[in-house]
Amino acid sequence: MITMSHRLLRTCNKCWLSTLLWSLAGWLVFLQIYHTLFPSSTHLPEPQDVWQKESLNLFPDVYPDMMVDRPEMVSSQGKVDHPMKKVPTKLDANVSGVIATLRNKTRERAEEEAKEKAALKKLALLFPGSELSIDGSKNNISEKGFYYPGRVWRDVDGKPIQAHGGGVLYVAETRTFYWYGENKGGPTYHLSKRGTARVDVLGISCYSSKDLWTWKFEGLALKPEKKDKSSDLYLTNVVERPKVIYNERTKHYVMWMHIDNANYSKAAVGVAISTQPEGPFDYLGSKRPHSCDSRDMTIFKDDNGDAYIIYSSQTNSELHIGTLTEDYMDVVERGMKRILIKQHREAPAVFKHQNIYYMVTSGCTGWNPNSAEVHAAESMMGSWETLGDPCVGGDEEFRAFTFFSQGSFVLPLPGLPNIFIFLADRWRPANLRDSRYIWLPLTMDGPVDQPLDKSFKFPPWQRVSIHWQNRWKLPPGWDIPQRWRLL
């Protein structure tokens, strides 16, 4: 009996010991798998959807190319150099792949969040909230006359000014400035994934001012057409970049503008006339000047009364310059000059200083900003020499993107022969009605060392500089009538 009991006891001890050893072995395997799946140095979130998706890859069919290479464990002859180290299995490889995928996704998510935060910060910088505005409706002496580029600009009624892509006309007899521009006060429509955006034709706005800071809305100088679908001014078409000049011979104010359809394939110019600067203007029609496509455009009136049209053509690869007829209502078909060929420039803004003609242009990047360039010539019909980027001040990125804006007009100031105002738009393609105005001083302040083209023979000229200012105002006394010269 005793012998039998001892045998049974020894057998039970062996079973218990065997069970204990197998249990420990199981726990060790479990811990190994746990630490493989959740290494202590990794702090990953637990996106269950990712785990569920990737769990299908944990036990795939056997493919040789799924092995993880560990050269420190396998010699050149294929033998294990360290027998005590475990040779990696395909399960190890798949677990590592899942972990790598999770790490990549987490890293990508963090990068996207960082980019989004940076974008929101830049958006707040470029498009300050409406509580920060230039407000002509408030009698705030300490703020009166100060320009804050990029802020909402309000008229004398406290409403945001809608005059984009436009220009300013000075009427000397009444010492009044008239600002014409696109009314983009409607919803923005996005036509394609490439970023094409538009608003309905809402008309061309007209504002008047005595001091270039306080603006009164005079109404729509050119009204949209809401019924006739064949009209260039019908709601679904495009009317951009209006410019107005006065003809002393005919006593008419003449407006030229870019006319297009919704997909920008018409590429024409339109003309309208009025006997009053504030309108209403009568629309006369549209055409392709010199039988060429025309998109971003402007007009320029010279000191002797000659007028010119300048437009981007050949699918925006070059600029064309042509003469207007004596009544400014049509284009002279002969004598068109092609300039800046294959340079892909648009948004021309022309001005004159000391008998030299200058033109500021932008690159062709849709609604996105790019680097400005200034060009010069001894006559409007050329030849035109590129001088370089006129932007001064701000950080490098700010300058490289024309202070995140696109030029539309250069305004000469009565009584200040060496100072102009550079008018530009800071477009917001996601919401075009919230696009802002960038008005900055443009000065002629010193000679350029060398032209970009060494073979080009050109007389000495002064450097064109567009100066970035967070806050600025025109010099005191600039608007005293005795100092004004008739333009």
Distance CA 99, CA 51 (A): 10
The confidence score (pLDDT) of residue 29 equals 52
Looking at the structure, tell me whether residues 40 and 183 fall in a common domain: no
Looking at the structure, tell me whether residues 425 and 279 fall in a common domain: yes
Q: Is residue 280 a part of any domain in this protein?
A: yes
Distance CA 196, CA 366 (A): 8
DSSP β-ladder status, 268-274 and 282-287: antiparallel
Q: Is residue 463 a part of any domain in this protein?
A: yes
Looking at the structure, tell me whether residues 58 and 190 fall in a common domain: no
Q: How far is CA 412 from CA 172, 294, 426, 486, in A?
A: 13, 26, 21, 11
- Beta carbons of 222 and 244 less than 8 angstroms apart: no
Which of 61, 92, 122 terminates a domain? The answer is 122
Looking at the structure, tell me whether residues 172 and 229 fall in a common domain: yes
Q: Is residue 133 a part of any domain in this protein?
A: no
Looking at the structure, tell me whether residues 79 and 184 fall in a common domain: no
Tokens of residue 316, six digits:
């925006």
What residues pair up with 272 in beta bridges, in sequence order?
255, 283
Which of 95, 122, 149 terminates a domain? The answer is 122
Considering only CA atoms, which of 387, 382, 430, 389 is closest in space to residue 407?
A: 389
Looking at the structure, tell me whether residues 92 and 162 fall in a common domain: no
Q: Is residue 19 a part of any domain in this protein?
A: no
Q: Is residue 16 a part of any domain in this protein?
A: no
Looking at the structure, tell me whether residues 270 and 402 fall in a common domain: yes
- Beta carbons of 363 and 345 less than 8 angstroms apart: yes
Considering only CA atoms, which of 422, 397, 307, 417 is closest in space to residue 118?
A: 397
Three-state SS sequence of the chain: CHHHHHHHHHHHHHHHHHHHHHHHHHHHHHHHHHHHHCCCCCCCCCCHHHHHHHHHHCCCCCCHHHCCCCCCCECCCCCECCCCCCCCCHHHHHHHHHHHHHHHHHHHHHHHHHHHHHHHHHHHHHCCCCCCEEECCCCCCCCCCCECCCCEEECCCCCECCCEEEEEEEECCCCEEEEEEECCCCCCEECCCCCCEECCCCCEEEEEECCCCCCEEEEEEECCECCCCCCCCECCCEEEEEEEEEECCCCEEEEEEEEECCCCCCCEEEEEEECCCCCCCEEEEEECHHHCCCCCEEEEECCCCCEEEEEEECCCCEEEEEEECCCCCCECCCCCEEECCCCCEEEEEEEEECCEEEEEEEECCCCCCCCCEEEEECCCCCCCEEEECCEECCCHHHHHCCCCCEEEEEEEECCEEEEEEEEEEECCCCCHHHCEEEEEEEEEEEECCCCCCCCCCCCCCEEEEEECCCCECCCCCCCCHHHCCCC
Looking at the structure, tell me whether residues 299 and 416 fall in a common domain: yes
Which of 122, 155, 180 terminates a domain? The answer is 122
Looking at the structure, tell me whether residues 339 and 242 fall in a common domain: yes
Q: Is residue 152 a part of any domain in this protein?
A: yes
Cβ neighbourhood burial of 262 (10 Å; 0-12, 13-18, 19+): middle
Looking at the structure, tell me whether residues 47 and 193 fall in a common domain: no
Looking at the structure, tell me whether residues 96 and 151 fall in a common domain: no
Count of domains forming the chain: 2
The confidence score (pLDDT) of residue 459 equals 56
Considering only CA atoms, which of 237, 444, 288 is closest in space to residue 354?
A: 444
The confidence score (pLDDT) of residue 110 equals 82
Cα dihedral sign for 93, 95, 97, 103?
Answer: negative
Q: Walk along the chain (487 residues) in steps of 10 and give the mean pLDDT of each run.
A: 48 55 58 46 35 33 34 40 50 68 79 77 86 90 93 97 97 96 94 74 97 97 96 97 98 98 94 98 98 98 97 97 98 96 97 95 93 96 92 91 97 88 95 96 72 55 88 83 45
Considering only CA atoms, which of 431, 439, 435 is closest in space to residue 468?
A: 439
Looking at the structure, tell me whether residues 190 and 48 fall in a common domain: no
Q: Is residue 77 a part of any domain in this protein?
A: yes
The confidence score (pLDDT) of residue 9 equals 45
Q: Is residue 13 a part of any domain in this protein?
A: no
- Beta carbons of 247 and 327 less than 8 angstroms apart: yes
* CATH classification at residue 359: 2.115.10.20
The domain in which residue 37 lies consists of 26-108+117-122
